Amino acid sequence: MSPARPGGGAVEEAGAAAPWLLRLFGFVVARRWPLLVLYALLLPPAVYFAVRVHSDNSIDRLIAADDPERVELRAFQKVFGAGEYAVLIFEADDPFAPGVLQRLDRIERGLAGLPRVQMSSALSMFRRAKADFAVTPEQCRAFRDFARGTALLRRQGLVGDDFLAVALVLDVQGYAEQGYAERRQALDAVERVIAAAGGSGPPLRAVRRVGLPYVNVKLHDDTKRDAPLYFVLFGAFVVALTLGLYRSFRALLAFLLTLAACVALAMGYVGLTGGVLTIVSPMVPMTILVTATASLVYLHSRFVACPAGRPVEEHRTFALANQFVACTASIFATAVGFAALTVSRIHPIWEMGIWVAVGLFITWIVVFTLYPALQRVLRAPTQQERRVAAPWFALVVGWLIGASWRWRWPLVAGSVLLAACGAVALFGLPGYVPHMRVLTNPVEYINESSTLYADTRRAEQVMPGLAISEVWLKGGLGSVSEPAVLTGLDRFQQALEADPDVGAAVGPTTILRLVRYLGGRGDAWPTDADAMEEAAADLEGLVAIEPLLQRFVQKHSLAQTHVSVVSHAVDHEGFERLAATVRRLWSKTAAEHPALSGFELKLVGLAPLQARVSQSLVPTLVESFELTVLVIFCTFLLVFRSGAARLLAMIPSLFAILVMFGAMRVFGMTLNVATILIASTVLGTSENDQIHFFYHYQEKKRLGASVEQALRHTFTVSGRAIFFATLINAGGFLAFALADLPPFRQFGLLTALAFLLSMVADFTALPAALWLVFRDRPDAPRS
């Protein structure tokens, strides 16, 4: 008997399903109604737990709670206070003009009354020193002379040629929904104050808002806004593809109900285990949807290819049994690709690996239980009842086989060369090409066209820096107020500020020097003993009443202090270089000022911690990729008995991944929290196609077929499914290309590109390699 070809015509149906699988799926189909009742009972609690999952899309979430450096940072914050820093920059042609100062004075008075907001600026310092500030010509001139009469304010970024800045500390904690609500309320209150005072209109040129609170709120809002769009687009894609391919609303309904169950049960597991969605979490349900849809395409494509004269129920169980091994191995390979992410030291990526792996196990169960039941209950038609789409593919098969033979050497050599170039683009070539850069600056996660991005870039030009590293100094009881200690600290700060890597160094003596300056005694640190004693007495008197000083000196014991080092460092190497500079200068200063020798120095800070965590993205990429390759190879070892097949099956995916990294390098893209996941995602997901390819190739080869006959059978049985499964994979992840956040936009485009490249290799380089490995030639034309 000659079964019908999926696109029309007849082909030989090779291979037989295992009897135990035929019995198993016969049992599943026969028990379809109890299965549907079971899923009807499971889905409501799954949906309940799924909708209870809350989100935290901050960059800070990438840092594990038990990370030693984070633990030290929390200990530091317990002593000196926690909070998030932001800066308001008020630009004007003349920042000391009466109209500008009147606007700024109204804004600062409004900010001073806000809960959860602490403020510091040159004008607020002047106001406290003079008991008040009135916008009169005399007071404006006095303030201008005060602000321009010292380098301290300019060095801190509070005063510039065309701007005045206001530093804010927001007393907000955490990144759960409540934390974001508090953060947003505080920022909204700041905006209301600015608007009530006249906003950013003349005489101001602009009001710029920068800082981590603004970045975290934008990341959170943009991620929550964009995530539903991904799934709406993917749903529309599935509807169009299913109707276009199978031309059946019944098949479409079976697909949609199966996909909904997969996602609901997987996300229900996340909710049940107390999971928190992060900036990378939209990839969890999307990966499950893409993998499930691809598996359904393979199953249904085999089902609709029902030979004329064969009973539909007999063919239904045959199709399920025939695709079971290949689909199981495919889902397992994808699950392994994501489970390999558990080697990551970045907790959200580690969690994502677990969630996707568990979700794919659930998907495997749903695809082989719920879907057959729905397919039978809804009576999805075969091609005998309704002709399926893409009959042209059968015409392409012959051309592909011939072309892969004629161009076998250029195809294989070209693939190897392009993959080698991609490897160099990623890992570099010592002495010639540096390795691919890792994105560590949080602002780079923001859309380049956004106001926040432009404000931050402007601030980087006019401010001493936006990255803060804290030099935490622990001494004995009352040691910070010793004159010799304060003198040594001031010398240490001056040494830091003289270093080209440091924009500013702010510590307790900075505030004391400003106090002396306001009192008319100059802004330099005193050199005579009596003046030093007076400065130390100022510290002891002010620390109990001055909130700003309390953020630098331990209030009661006066045993601990810190120096905030502001720099333009953005990557791990920059912070490592800065840390080495700090330790070197501290050792030198302590040698010159023995009073400092009793202090223990620690370096803490969120900015260097984020840079260090971002740097660990590279080990995540390499280790997870190596582990994925190893486990998938072991999977092939079990599924395929041919040694050549085990190696050749990985060619398309490796080619696609490495060429994709080459494209990243050409277009100036970087590794980040999203693009770091592409290798494992593509390798795990695209191996589905290679597994199906080789499964059906060997299915025919075991019958003694030639390479041409085996390739023709493979392309006919699984080629069209590979083509449409690739469209599903690429189209699903391409939805991320519409994201507002650049890393996810890049992830969507690059992943779609990699899937398409993998498919191209499936249909060209892989058959070409088979011709070479098996040293076969096309069959002689029949006479």
Q: Is the pLDDT of residue 91 over 60?
A: yes
The token pair that represents 241 in the structure block: 């593809």
Q: Is the pLDDT of residue 569 over 50?
A: yes
Band the pLDDT of 60: cuts 50, 70, 90: low
Buried b / exposed e over 142-166, threshold 16 CB at 10 Å, is ebbebbeebebbbbbbbbbeebbbb
**Rounded alpha-carbon distances, angstroms, from residue 442 to 435, 604, 614, 629:** 21, 18, 10, 31
Cα 140 to its chain centre, rounded Å, is: 48
Which pLDDT value is given to residue 728? 79
Q: Is the pLDDT of residue 549 over 90?
A: no
Which pLDDT value is given to residue 698? 82
Band the pLDDT of 359: cuts 50, 70, 90: very high
Average of per-residue pLDDT values in the chain: 85
Looking at per-residue confidence, does 426 or 583 come out higher?
583
Q: Is the pLDDT of residue 253 over 90?
A: yes
Strands (E), 497-613: 502-506, 560-567, 600-604
- pTM for the model stands at 0.77
Rounded to whole angstroms, the Cα distance separating 205 from 439 reads 32
H runs (alpha helix) in 305-389: 312-339, 347-367, 370-377
What is the tens place of the pLDDT at every residue in 94-144? 999 999 999 999 999 999 899 888 888 999 888 887 777 888 888 899 999
Please say whether the beta carbons of 514 and 125 come within 8 A.
Answer: yes
* Terminal Cα-to-Cα distance of the chain (whole angstroms): 23
Which pLDDT value is given to residue 643? 59
Strand, coil or helix: 733: helix
Give the number of other CB atoms < 10 A from CB of residue 541.
11
What is the tens place of the pLDDT at every residue in 445-455? 788 888 998 99
Rounded to whole angstroms, the Cα distance separating 444 from 453 reads 8
Rounded to whole angstroms, the Cα distance separating 468 from 504 reads 10
Band the pLDDT of 440: cuts 50, 70, 90: low
What is the tens place of the pLDDT at every residue in 293-308? 989 998 998 898 888 8
Mean per-residue pLDDT, 187-206: 93
DSSP state of 442: G
What is the tens place of the pLDDT at every residue in 142-173? 999 999 988 889 888 899 999 999 999 888 76
Which pLDDT value is given to residue 256? 94
Q: Is the pLDDT of residue 783 over 80?
A: no
Backbone dihedral angles phi then psi of residue 376, each to the nearest 5 degrees? -75, -45
Which pLDDT value is given to residue 5? 34
What is the tens place of the pLDDT at every residue in 728-741? 778 878 888 888 88
Query: Order of strands across the sheet with 600-604?
Result: 502-506, 560-567, 467-474, 600-604
Rounded to whole angstroms, the Cα distance separating 618 from 675 reads 11
Q: Is the pLDDT of residue 6 over 60?
A: no
Range from 13-22, 197-206, 652-661, 705-714 carrying the lowest mean pLDDT: 13-22
